[in-house]
Copies of this chain bind each other. A is one copy, B any other.
Amino acid sequence: MTLLTLDQVNALDAGAFAAAFAAVYEHSPWVAGQAAALRPFASVTAMAATFAGIVAAAGDDAKLALLMAHPDLAGRAAVRGDLTAHSRLEQASAGLDSLTAEEMAAFTRANADYRLRFGFPFILAVKHWGKAHILAAFRGRLDNSPAAERATALAEVDKIAFSRLLALIEPAPGGRLTTHVLDTARGRPAAGLGIELARLEGGAETVVRQDVTNADGRLDQPLLAGAEMAVGLWRLTFSAGEYFLASGQTLTAPAFLDLVPIRFHIDNPEQHYHVPLLVTPWSYSTYRGS
């Protein structure tokens, strides 16, 4: 599907805008309806924040109605084929459309426990998770206080909305993925170290970039920029073993470390993801920087 540009979004007449984004909040077109007047949006991130702000400013009854408008995960509506188009795709991407009888029983039980405790359906932005993750999230949230859990559920609704907006609108440019490798055994940038970036999707791996660090331990270009910043799972692999051999560091045979893989998700294609590696022949660390 062709994505709208932000310019197009900002230029829509109010009715067309409300229609285009009516389904972003489940069965709750009023959110998009109110957002029309709050344009222009400089980014999908800003647009999603505006939508979320409208929800946050709504009354408790409207919030509860919004939560209640969501279907159970792997619940009756799903079984009946009664989901919204968005929800069907989201649940399918988490594998919820192909549960074993045992798994279905586990979800039915979890949904029931949750509803009994909180009075509204369990909501989770499931698109990039599997069944085990979702059951873990059930466990993690059942002990929350009712007030904390309502806040958590609304935050999930906002994440789902952001994800739905990203399915409709081309992200603002500016997002990028960069890295930096420090040799913390020697206190210097790791120069000449090979890096491979792969996209992991549906069990398949696609190498999208191979590069070598410069004298500052960085790459001359971002690993990803602009439209390349796809939401989802990525893997950076650092050729630490070759680097250590080329730098003459003392190693065992075989060395403790060779290829260092780092798997991470990009959730917001408009942001800067800086994923550095601090490495010695015996240790490493990484973090989301910016």
B182 to A185, Cβ gap below 8 A?
no
**How many copies of this chain sit in the oligomeric assembly?**
4
* Chain B: minimal CB distance from A271 (Å): 10
* Chain B: minimal CB distance from A105 (Å): 19
Residues of A232-273 at the interface with B, using a CB-CB cut-off of 8 Å, are: 232-233, 239, 241-243, 245-250, 252-261, 263-265, 267-268
Q: How many A residues, CB 8 Å from partner? A: 74
* Chain B: minimal CB distance from A110 (Å): 12
A245 to B136, Cβ gap below 8 A?
yes
B256 to A187, Cβ gap below 8 A?
yes
A189 within 8 A of B: yes
B140 to A151, Cβ gap below 8 A?
no
A282 to B147, Cβ gap below 8 A?
no
**Consensus secondary structure, chain A interface:** mixed
Most buried by B among A143, A186, A280: A280
A2 within 8 A of B: no
- In the bound complex, what is the Cα–Cα distance between A239 and B131 (angstroms)? 13
- In the bound complex, what is the Cα–Cα distance between A261 and B262 (angstroms)? 7
If A136-B243, A140-B245, A263-B261 touch, whether A283 touches B184 (CB-CB below 8 Å) is yes
B136 to A288, Cβ gap below 8 A?
no
B287 to A127, Cβ gap below 8 A?
no
B242 to A132, Cβ gap below 8 A?
yes
If A254-B129, A265-B255 touch, whether A283 touches B290 (CB-CB below 8 Å) is no
Most buried by B among A156, A259, A263: A263
A256 to B288, Cβ gap below 8 A?
yes
A242 to B133, Cβ gap below 8 A?
yes
B144 to A147, Cβ gap below 8 A?
no
Chain B residues, Cβ within 8 Å of A186 = 185, 250, 282
Residue from B140, B232, B253, B283 in contact with A160 in the complex, judged by beta carbons closer than 8 Å? B253
Per CB-CB distance, the 7 closest pairs between chain A and chain B, nearest first, are A147-B147, A187-B282, A285-B285, A128-B254, A125-B253, A283-B287, A159-B253
Known A-B contacts: A132-B239, A252-B265. Give 20 more (CB < 8 A). Answer: A125-B254, A127-B254, A129-B254, A133-B258, A136-B242, A136-B246, A143-B248, A184-B280, A184-B282, A187-B256, A187-B281, A232-B254, A252-B268, A253-B267, A256-B267, A257-B265, A259-B263, A261-B263, A283-B288, A284-B285
